[in-house]
Amino acid sequence: MEKEEVVREIVVDGSGQILGRLASIVAKKLLEGYKVTVVNVEKVVISGKPSEVVKAYKSTVLAVRSHHAHKWRPKRPRSPINIFKASVKGMLPKNNKRGREALKRLKAYIGVPEEFKGKELVRFKEADASRLGRWYVELERVSRELGWKGGRQ
C-alpha cells in the first residue's frame, strides 16, 4: 500500500515582519515539510538606519566590479522576492537534497494574489517589527535603490 503524503501548507503575511527572523522561521517550516507561501514580501522590514541598510546592500550588489565583462560574475538579487528567497536559501542546508527540496516548496509574492485573498494569513509574533526599538526600512525601498523597477514577478 502506498502511503499518501499530506501536504501541509502555510500562507504567511510578510508585512511588518523582520527579514532575518521571518526567513529563519520559514526555513524551519520548510525543513519540517511545510509548503510555505509568503505574500506582501515588499513590506518585509530590515532593521537598522535606512541610509545605512541601503548603503550596505549597494556595496554588496553594485560594487562588485572587475576589469573584464565576465558572463559568470555573481548575480545579486534586486527584487524583494529574490532578496527574501536568498535570505531563506542561506538558512537551508545547501549541499544536500533535503535543502534543495525545501527551497522548491517556497513561494513568494508581491502583494496578495487572488488565490490567497480568502485564506487565513499567518503572522509570527517573534518576527514582528513592533519589537524593534527605532529604525527600519521596507524591502521595497531597498530594492528600488538597487535598481528594481517594480511590478509583479
CATH of the domain at 81: 3.90.1180.10
In a domain, 100, yes or no: yes
In a domain, 29, yes or no: yes
| pLDDT reported for residue 76 | 75
Q: What proportion of the chain, given as a percentage, has pLDDT over 90? A: 60
CB atoms within 10 A of CB 106: 20
| pLDDT reported for residue 151 | 67
Boundaries of domain holding 138? 19-62+75-146
Q: What is the tens place of the pLDDT at every residue in 36-74?
A: 999 999 999 999 898 998 888 888 766 666 666 666 666
In a domain, 11, yes or no: no
Mean local confidence (pLDDT), 100-108: 95
In a domain, 67, yes or no: no
Confidence category of residue 77, pLDDT binned at 50, 70, 90: confident
| pLDDT reported for residue 99 | 94
Mean local confidence (pLDDT), 82-109: 94
CA-CA distance, 118 to 51, in Å (whole number)? 37
In a domain, 46, yes or no: yes
In a domain, 1, yes or no: no
Domain total of the chain? 1
Q: Which of 54, 21, 53, 56 is nearest to 38 (CA)?
A: 21
In a domain, 124, yes or no: yes
CB atoms within 10 A of CB 88: 23
Within 8 A by CB and 6+ apart from 2, the residues are none
Q: Residue 15 pLDDT > 80, yes or no?
A: yes
